[in-house]
Amino acid sequence: MKLKIAIDGPAGAGKSTVARMVAQQLHYTYIDTGAMYRAITLAIMRSGVPVDQTDAIAKLVKKCDLQIKLTPDGKNKIYLDGEDITTEIRQEAVSALVSDVSNQLMVRKFLVEKQRQMATTGGVVLDGRDIGTVVLPDAQLKIYLVASLAVRAKRRHLELNKDVDNISLSDLTNAMAIRDNKDANNTYGPMRPADDAITIDTDNLSIEEVVKKITELAKAKISA
Ligand code: DC
């Protein structure tokens, strides 16, 4: 059986690295749904349409040609209308706006549909905020990764491209707290664990330990 695996949780909890490594170990496809919301956000920023113009945004979203390709090392490359935007969507300017964009019904309808289509065959690991609750309520394994804000902000600060974003750790911590709050209060796909999700606190675990735990859980489901 090829599982659908959902990995949700707040920014910086280690979701994308863990999801990618779990997918690699199981020979599954990794799908970074946050990158999809970031891509739409970048398209809106480039268009100059204000984020509160929901009708204009709905039109724009329908016209976006969004493609995700898997690289040989299991990462996702994101293309918007044929252009590789994988690096650009990681900018803090995109992070600052993405929660507001992802709180729009038409944006979510468009992306949730796309995510479900990509997952239909199984053999997938999706990471996001609402995968276990909204996108794939039928996922056989649901993980909710958590970590304290201080640990998450430190991790993100280390990952930042300092040539593009020279943000201090305390400013980044504040920005993440604001985004957490917005993501938790998203009207259509709030960040929260599904009732049947297994919560893993990653504060004191290495990436490898988290990956091992999830892979073991997945293997147990496969052989059940
Ligand atoms: O995982 P990330 O930090 O790259 O996600 C960026 C934003 O996208 C996040 O702040 C909320 C939104 N998002 C969402 O609403 N639903 C998802 N499934 C994934 C991300």
Does residue 163 register a pLDDT over 90? no
Specify whether the CB–CB gap between 201 and 193 falls below 8 A.
Answer: no
Q: What whole-number percentage of the chain has pLDDT above 70? A: 100
| 129 CA to centre of ligand 1 in angstroms | 6
Cα separation, 50 vs 97, in Å, equals 11
Residue to substitute in 102, 112, 172, 179 for testing ligand 1 pocket (most ligand atoms within 8 angstroms of CB) = 102
Cβ contacts of residue 198 below 8 Å, gap of 6+? 141, 142, 143, 144, 217
Distance from the first to the final alpha carbon of the chain:
10
* pLDDT tens-digit series, residues 119-156: 999 999 999 999 999 999 999 999 999 999 999 999 99
Q: Locate the DSSP E strands across the chain.
A: 4-8, 29-32, 66-70, 76-80, 83-84, 124-128, 141-146, 198-201
Has residue 160 got a pLDDT over 90? no
* pLDDT tens track for 83-94: 999 999 999 999
> At the topology level of CATH, where does 4-214 sit?
Rossmann fold (3.40.50)
The pTM of the full predicted model, rounded to 2 decimals, is 0.96
Cα(1) to ligand 1 centroid in Å equals 28
**For residue 111, how far is its CA from the centre of ligand 1 (angstroms)?**
11
In this structure, the residues whose C-beta lies within 6 A of any atom of ligand 1 are 11, 33-34, 37-38, 98-99, 102, 128-131, 179, 183, 186, 189
CB atoms within 10 A of CB 151: 17
Distance 125 CA to ligand 1 centre (A): 15
Query: 191 and 34 in contact (C-beta within 8 Å)?
Result: no
**Model confidence over 40-76: pLDDT tens digits?**
999 999 999 999 999 999 999 999 999 999 999 999 9
Cα 133 to ligand 1 centre (Å) = 14
